[in-house]
Amino acid sequence: MAVPDFQSIMLPFLKALADGQQQRTRELMPKLASHFHLSDSDLKQLLPSGTQRVFENRVFWVSSYLRHAALIESPQRGVVRITEIGRKILANPPDRITVGYLMQLPSFQPFGSQSATNTGSSSAQVPPAVQGSDKTPEEDLEAIWLAIRNALGQDLLGRIMSCSPSFFERLVVDLLVKMGYGGSVIDAGQSVGMTGDGGIDGIIKEDKLGLDVVYIQAKRWEGQVGRPVVQAFAGSLDGFRARKGVLITTSGFSADARTYASQIEKRIVLIDGTTLVRLMMEHGVGVTTAKTYDLQKPDLDYFDEEALSG
């Protein structure tokens, strides 16, 4: 079963606290995972940024929303228990607790009103990111971030295809150096750009000391790269006495090409257009930061009075 949306977790989360005992939020996660019949692969699913697991993220947001609605309280860090309001709701529970349901509770409305003040709306509302969405605000933010990155990637590929072969050669050199290969741009530039046929072919140092070398071939292609191209590239490694190679394309590789590369003795890394622009973004090649948004959270150590007094 797929990880349920965070609103679907709300009622089971509250029911798990029905005995009135204090429980740690992290201790509730295995119970909730069992309730939803989640597999190990479900529990390992990550947010687009890869910084947090989806299920954990949704459970923590559920805890936050239920606290704002006063259905649960947190007597100490990481510990929750049901409140009297929560007990009354469980006495006659709805089929599902949603953000819309919480908005009907007076205890939750000040939380919603805060965003109404920020947006200039005259009516109380929850953070705009979750209006009509089954995702947590953080998931919505990451989805927007991912969409922007994908659009940027397509833009970069288009620009690469419109540039000259020599510019593409320099781009690849810049990227490899930023990734730690070639020693310096000067060292790398002396080893590539040997054919001038619209791509680059050559040898580059694997590290700054040149203890090993990597053979590189890069082509601005639009069609899919098949097995024969990879085979020819593998054969050319012998002429350069190289055991490792990187084949870069602006398009993609066929399944047969990838299978062949994974089965031969030589180590050949295939970098398609999607991977190329991702590496460019990760290493700051051909891109610049337009704006940065900091996602902040409370500093729990700062508010730990016991630690301060001790």
Q: Which domain holds residue 167?
A: 156-283
How many structural domains does the chain have?
Answer: 2
- Check whether residue 17 and residue 113 sit in a common domain: yes
In the chain, the DSSP E strands lie at: 23-24, 72-76, 79-82, 199-205, 213-219, 244-249, 267-271
Asked if the structure places residue 136 within a domain, the reply is no
Asked if the structure places residue 247 within a domain, the reply is yes
Asked if the structure places residue 138 within a domain, the reply is no
- Check whether residue 163 and residue 279 sit in a common domain: yes
* Averaged pLDDT for residues 5-26: 95
- Check whether residue 82 and residue 171 sit in a common domain: no
Asked if the structure places residue 257 within a domain, the reply is yes
CB 258 within 8 A of CB 271: no
DSSP label at residue 5: P
C-alpha–C-alpha distance, residues 176 and 285, integer Å: 10
- Check whether residue 213 and residue 275 sit in a common domain: yes
C-alpha–C-alpha distance, residues 43 and 295, integer Å: 23
The residue among 124 and 285 whose pLDDT is bigger is 285
What is the per-residue pLDDT for 133? 66
- Check whether residue 163 and residue 99 sit in a common domain: no
- Check whether residue 179 and residue 260 sit in a common domain: yes
- Check whether residue 191 and residue 247 sit in a common domain: yes
C-alpha–C-alpha distance, residues 163 and 89, integer Å: 63
User: Which residue in 230, 166, 155 sits closest to 197, CA to CA?
Assistant: 166
- Joined tokens for residue 140: 């919505």
User: Which residue in 219, 220, 248, 245 sits closest to 234, CA to CA?
Assistant: 245
CATH label of the domain that carries residue 100 = 1.10.10
304 pLDDT band, cuts 50/70/90, is low
- pLDDT exceeds 60 at position 265: yes
10 pLDDT band, cuts 50/70/90, is very high
C-alpha–C-alpha distance, residues 230 and 249, integer Å: 11
- Check whether residue 14 and residue 124 sit in a common domain: yes
Asked if the structure places residue 288 within a domain, the reply is no
120 pLDDT band, cuts 50/70/90, is very low
- Joined tokens for residue 96: 């599902």
- Check whether residue 113 and residue 192 sit in a common domain: no
Asked if the structure places residue 299 within a domain, the reply is no
Asked if the structure places residue 209 within a domain, the reply is yes
C-alpha–C-alpha distance, residues 301 and 310, integer Å: 13
| pLDDT tens-digit readout, 169-217 | 788 888 988 888 877 777 776 666 655 443 456 778 777 777 777 888 8
- pLDDT exceeds 50 at position 9: yes
- Check whether residue 220 and residue 107 sit in a common domain: no
Asked if the structure places residue 210 within a domain, the reply is yes
CB 226 within 8 A of CB 256: yes
CATH label of the domain that carries residue 215 = 3.40.1340.10
Average pLDDT, the chain: 84
Contacts of residue 211, defined as CB under 8 A and 6 or more positions apart, other chains included, come to none
- Check whether residue 184 and residue 243 sit in a common domain: yes
Considering only 4-8, 118-122, 144-148, 208-212, which range has the smallest mean pLDDT?
118-122
What is the per-residue pLDDT for 125? 45
- Check whether residue 112 and residue 203 sit in a common domain: no
- pLDDT exceeds 70 at position 307: no
Whole-structure pTM value = 0.70
User: Which residue in 205, 212, 195 sits closest to 173, CA to CA?
Assistant: 205
